[in-house]
Amino acid sequence: MTPTLAPVILVIEDDPAIQKVLRVSLEAGGYQVRAARTGQDGILQAATQSPDVIILDLGLPDMAGEATAREIRQWSGVPILVVSARGKEFDKVTVLDAGADDYLTKPFSIQELLARLRALLRRRPVENAQSAVFQADDLLLDMAQRRVTLAGRPVHLTRHEYRLLCLLMRNAGRVLTHSYLLREIWGPDAAQQTHYIRVYINQLRRKIEADPGRPRHILTEAGVGYRWAESP
């Protein structure tokens, strides 16, 4: 990828109207757009056009979104953003677990889409930083010193809360599924204990959010998982 060129977005979507809206908005946002109408075509273009991000619709006529994501994931680490309708939470989880990086529920705002794309494009360099300092508003996470402060005052976190916060902040803007979080923090055996996550998130919100009832940092993705909101 040449830095001087605008990033290439491959849109795999069968509905022409949405294709059109996406193309117009993305091109206005400074991206190059490639379009595919079927999963097969999408896989082909993913291989030939070397896109920087793939936007994948879950309701493709020829193959399941999960299979498409899995196939692409076999030979490419390109970020995949899944787009699907509400009510298909289970599909979203499977496709995220199959290797997709993020998802958006239809209908979505273009602003939101652009923000997600930015997060995905930015992700890779950040991921490598094992020890780093993350900031969101007046919340500061210093991974090197294992230290969390809110408005300069230290915040006491349990070990699990701390690891949860690290995972979320390091992947800011990206949805993390329940099972991913559970595997990362409690190990593979705990992948079904989703209420652990809920309880810890609830606890974490109490400690770091100004209004835990209306959290601004840790956002719930109903039925799927959680996301650290990027600072605008």
Q: How far is the CB of 219 from another protein (least distance, A)?
A: 7
Interacting residues of 75 by C-beta distance below 8 A, sequence separation 6+: 47
Interface residue with another protein, options 70, 123, 147, 207 (CB under 8 A): 147
Site string for another protein, 86-125 (x = CB under 8 A): xx-x-----------------x-x----------------
Count of positions on this chain that bind another protein (CB under 8 A): 36
In angstroms, the CA 104 to CA 165 distance is 22
- Closer residue to another protein, CB minimum distance, 41 or 89: 89
Q: How far is the CB of 118 from another protein (least distance, A)?
A: 21
- Closer residue to another protein, CB minimum distance, 47 or 133: 133
Can you say whether the dihedral through the CA atoms of 157, 160, 164, 167 is positive or negative?
A: positive
Q: What residues from 179 to 208 belong to the interface with another protein (CB under 8 A)?
A: 194-196, 198-203, 205-206
Is 32 a residue that touches another protein (CB under 8 A)? no
Residue corresponding to tokens 């939101």: 112
Is 157 a residue that touches another protein (CB under 8 A)? yes
- First and final CA of the chain: distance in angstroms? 27
Are 46 and 78 spatial neighbours (Cβ–Cβ below 8 Å)?
yes
Alpha-carbon separation of residue 17 from 13, 14, 32, 52, 62 (angstroms): 10, 9, 18, 23, 19
Helix (H, G, I), strand (E, B) or coil at 153: strand
Is 151 a residue that touches another protein (CB under 8 A)? no
Which residues in this chain contact another protein in the complex, by CB under 8 A?
Answer: 86-87, 89, 107, 109, 146-148, 154-160, 162, 194-196, 198-203, 205-206, 211-215, 219-220, 222-223
